C-alpha cells in the first residue's frame, strides 16, 4: 500500500464529505477510493471513518490522523517547492482567478507588465463568473469582489468598486432622464440574475431611497446586461468596472449620479500552507499597489470612499 497516496485519498474524501464525492473529486473509480481507505484502516488497525448512507464522520482516531496527514502533505509540498527552486527566484506556473469582467478590466491590462518583470513565471488566468475554491482547484491567488466569507483565506484589500446605474443616450432621449430613484418606476430595467427582484437601493445625505423599474430584460451574465443597455433596451445597474469602456466611449451614460448606489470591497485572496511560494509573494507585492491605483481610475471608482 502506498501510504502517501492513501493519505491523499483520505483527505479528499474528508474534504468532499463522502466517499462518492471524494471519488468524483479525484476522478478515481468509487471502488478504488473505498478500497484505499479500507486498506489504510487495516494498516493502522483502527477505524477512521463512520460511513452513513449520505456522508461520513471522523472517529476520534480519524480526526487525529487527518490532522497529521494534512501536516505531512503540506511539509512534502514545501520540500518539493524548495527543491524546485521556487523559494530562490519567482518561477513556475501561477494560477490567478477573477470574474470575467473584473479580470478583463483590471488584471489583463497589468499582466503583460508583470510577466516582463518576472520572466520565469507562467501566468494561468482563470476568468469565471463563479467563486473558485482555491485549494480544491489548485489556484494560487483570487481577486474577489464583496465581503469575504471564507475565514481560512488570507486577504489583502486593494480597493472598492461602486455600483453604477446607466443607460444609452438613445434610451434616455426616448424615455427621459430620471431625477430621483422613485422615477425608476416609470422606466424599463435590465435585471442581472434570474432571481434578483429586489428594489434598487440608493443613498443621499444619509437617507436610503429605492427605485423599482419594470423588468423589461433579464440576463444571467453581466456582459449581456451591459450589451442590452447599450442597445437602448433599458436602464442597467452594474458594478462600475463592467461598463468602464462604454462610459468612456459614450455608448452608456450615468443615471442618478447624484445618488450613491453602494460599493463593495475588492480583495486579493490566497491560501497559505507552509511557506508562501516566491511566485505568489512576487505577484501579491507587485499587483497590490497597481490594483489599488487601477481601481481609483475614473469610471472604475466613481464614488468617494
Q: Which domain holds residue 69?
A: 3-84
Q: Exposed/middle/buried for 5, CB within 10 Å: 0-12, 13-18, 19+? A: exposed
How would you classify the pairing of strands 188-192 and 214-219?
A: parallel
Q: Whole-angstrom Cα distance, residue 258 to residue 202?
A: 10
- Provide the grid cell at 104: 478583463
> Given 20, 50, 84, which residue is the final one in a domain?
84
Residues 69 and 189 in one domain: no
Which range has the worst mean pLDDT, 103-112, 163-172, 270-279?
270-279
What is the percent of the chain with per-residue pLDDT over 70, rounded to a whole number? 91
Say how many domains are in the chain: 2
Report pLDDT for 4: 87
CATH of the domain at 293: 3.40.190.290
Render pLDDT for 6-55 as a digit per residue (tens, 0 to 9).
888 988 888 888 888 888 888 889 899 889 999 989 999 999 998 876 77
pLDDT above 50 (res 128): yes
Report pLDDT for 304: 32
Residues 30 and 71 in one domain: yes
Residues 74 and 95 in one domain: no
Residues 218 and 255 in one domain: yes
The dihedral sign for the CA sequence 216, 221, 226, 232: negative
Residues 46 and 137 in one domain: no
Q: Whole-angstrom Cα distance, residue 34 to residue 23?
A: 9
Q: Within a 10 A sphere around the Cβ of 250, how many other Cβ atoms?
A: 9
Report pLDDT for 195: 57
Residues 115 and 242 in one domain: yes
> Given 84, 110, 135, which residue is the final one in a domain?
84
Cβ atoms of 185 and 178 within 8 Å: the answer is no
Average pLDDT score over the chain? 86
Once rounded to an integer, what is the mean pLDDT over residues 90-103?
89
Q: Exposed/middle/buried for 1, CB within 10 Å: 0-12, 13-18, 19+? A: exposed
Report pLDDT for 274: 63
Report pLDDT for 133: 82
Tell which wins on pLDDT, 122 or 71: 122
Report pLDDT for 220: 83
Report pLDDT for 150: 65
Residues 266 and 290 in one domain: yes
Render pLDDT for 139-197 as a digit per residue (tens, 0 to 9).
999 999 888 876 678 899 999 988 999 999 999 999 999 999 999 999 999 988 765 67
Once rounded to an integer, what is the mean pLDDT over residues 260-288?
87
Residues 169 and 31 in one domain: no
Amino acid at each position: 500500500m502506498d501510504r502517501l497516496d492513501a493519505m491523499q485519498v483520505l483527505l479528499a474524501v474528508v474534504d468532499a464529505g463522502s466517499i462518492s464525492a471524494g471519488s468524483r473529486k479525484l476522478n478515481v473509480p468509487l471502488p478504488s477510493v473505498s478500497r484505499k481507505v479500507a486498506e489504510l484502516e487495516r494498516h493502522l488497525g483502527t477505524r477512521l471513518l463512520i460511513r452513513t448512507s449520505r456522508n461520513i464522520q471522523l472517529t476520534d482516531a480519524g480526526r487525529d490522523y487527518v490532522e497529521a496527514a494534512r501536516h505531512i502533505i503540506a511539509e512534502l509540498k514545501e520540500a518539493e517547492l524548495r527543491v524546485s527552486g521556487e523559494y530562490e527566484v519567482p518561477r513556475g506556473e501561477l494560477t490567478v482567478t477573477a470574474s470575467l469582467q473584473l479580470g478583463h478590466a483590471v488584471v489583463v491590462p497589468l499582466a503583460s507588465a508583470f510577466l516582463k518583470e518576472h520572466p520565469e513565471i507562467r501566468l494561468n488566468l482563470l476568468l469565471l463568473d463563479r467563486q473558485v475554491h482555491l485549494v480544491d482547484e489548485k489556484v494560487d491567488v483570487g481577486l474577489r469582489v464583496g465581503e469575504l466569507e471564507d475565514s481560512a483565506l488570507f486577504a489583502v484589500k486593494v480597493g472598492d468598486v461602486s455600483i453604477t446605474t446607466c443607460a444609452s443616450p438613445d434610451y434616455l432621449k426616448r424615455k427621459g432622464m430620471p431625477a430621483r430613484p422613485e422615477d425608476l418606476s416609470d422606466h424599463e430595467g435590465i435585471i442581472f440574475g434570474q432571481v434578483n427582484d429586489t428594489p434598487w437601493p440608493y443613498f443621499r445625505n444619509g437617507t436610503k431611497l429605492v427605485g423599482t423599474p419594470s423588468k423589461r430584460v433579464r440576463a444571467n451574465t453581466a456582459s449581456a446586461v451591459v450589451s442590452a443597455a447599450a442597445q437602448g433596451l433599458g436602464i442597467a445597474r452594474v458594478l462600475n468596472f463592467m461598463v468602464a469602456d462604454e462610459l468612456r466611449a459614450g455608448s452608456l451614460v450615468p443615471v442618478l449620479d447624484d445618488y450613491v448606489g453602494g460599493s463593495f470591497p475588492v480583495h486579493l485572496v490566497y491560501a497559505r500552507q507552509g511557506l508562501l511560494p516566491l511566485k505568489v509573494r512576487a505577484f501579491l507585492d507587485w499587483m497590490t499597489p497597481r490594483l489599488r491605483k487601477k481601481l481609483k481610475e475614473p469610471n472604475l471608482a466613481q464614488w468617494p470612499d
